Amino acid sequence: MKERLEQLKQEALNKVENAESVQNLKDVRVEYLGKKGPITEVLRGMGKLSKEERPVIGQLANDVRESIAEAIETKQSRLEDAAMEKQLEEESIDVTLPGRPVQIGGPHLLTSIVEEIEDLFIGMGFEIKEGPEVETDYYNFEALNLPKGHPARDMQDSFYITEELLMRTHTSPVQARTMGARNGGEPVKMICPGKVYRRDTDDATHSHQFTQIEGLLVDKNVRMSDLKGVLNAFAKQMFGAEREIRLRPSFFPFTEPSVEMDISCKVCGGEGCSVCKGTGWIEILGGGMVHPNVLEMAGYDPKEYSGFAFGMGPERIAMLKYGVDDIRHFYTNDIRFLEQYHKA
């Protein structure tokens, strides 16, 4: 039995050494170490041995098994390492080649303008508020001093979903909702950016969907001079310290008195040119003192509280600041246009 076990050990080690693949090693393992292998057959004949010989043969059989298993593991490791090296050689990458450039995008011009305006007003202590784009008739009109049948509603013909639901025509409903939530007991200092909708014919200066930013400040002893100071700071920050502003009387149902704000033309410096149509001024936004009816409907006592409100279109701000001549450029996704303002 000793001779037979030594013979099997040598045969197995030779086959392991000559194995050219992991599969060959698996075959050797099954052939010599499996339940039906020759080593197992030898051990089955141990019953014919004396008590003294059995432990000796048993120990030898275990040593043979361990030697074969160890040889298989060692050879398998060598074969796997060789296969990995071959694969690395075949799939090697020339790291000296220049890499493929990755184009990095950036925010849309309107997004940049909105964020710039938000940062400006946050610096002045305003908070950012948002509201639903599908709005009720009450908050879109009635809470802003525009009751049903009011002729000023015709200026904001919108997309109605039902008789009481519509796509909001301005972001003013956010102001009404915010004041209502304070229930007349706390000051309000906010701006509300967002998309608005009006049934307009699209052309170079009009769009059925556009963005708007409105601001509101309600507190005790708020004056028109406070509004002018805020708007003057805004104009100089957005268009340059040399810009001048002027306020002209106007009409809005939710403010009284109401004003339009112009800035001095940056092209001619106020002398008059084709851009400002010879006036030296360019209209930029509207505003005024919050109408007492609006304050009262929101729960504020107009004898104790006052406030100002203003509204602007980021598209118009961007068109004036960067010389864009058609509002539709902002929405047609022409990469040639967008790339010009990638880092604006």
pLDDT tens for each residue of 207-251:
889 999 999 999 999 999 999 999 999 999 999 898 899 999 999
Q: Is residue 95 part of a domain?
A: no
Give the residue-averaged pLDDT of 125-134: 95
pLDDT at 59 (0 to 100) = 77
Q: Are 245 and 263 in contact (CB under 8 A)?
A: yes
Q: Which residues are annotated as a binding site for Mg(2+)?
A: 256
Same domain, 50 and 179: no
- How far apart are alpha carbons 100 and 282 in whole angstroms? 47
Same domain, 120 and 238: yes
Q: How confident is the model at residue 174 (pLDDT cuts 50, 70, 90)?
A: very high
Q: Is residue 164 part of a domain?
A: no
Q: Is residue 324 part of a domain?
A: yes
Range of the domain at 281: 109-133+175-341
Tens-digit pLDDT profile for residues 22-74: 888 888 878 777 777 777 777 666 666 677 777 777 777 778 778 888 888 88
Tell which of 63, 90, 117 closes a domain: 90
Tell which of 29, 58, 90 closes a domain: 90
Same domain, 84 and 121: no
Same domain, 57 and 121: no
Q: Is residue 337 part of a domain?
A: yes
Same domain, 248 and 329: yes
Same domain, 42 and 128: no
- How far apart are alpha carbons 334 and 263 in whole angstroms? 30
Q: Whole-structure pTM over 0.75, yes or no? A: no
Q: Which residues are annotated as a binding site?
A: 256
Q: Is residue 16 part of a domain?
A: yes
Q: What is the DSSP string of 211-274?
A: EEEEEEEEETT--HHHHHHHHHHHHHHHH-TT--EEEEEEEETTEEEEEEEEEE-TTTTTS--T
Higher pLDDT, 194 or 265: 194
pLDDT at 233 (0 to 100) = 95
Same domain, 68 and 191: no
The domain tally of the chain equals 2
For residue 344, pLDDT over 60 is answered with no
Same domain, 181 and 330: yes
Same domain, 85 and 199: no
Give the residue-averaged pLDDT of 130-135: 95
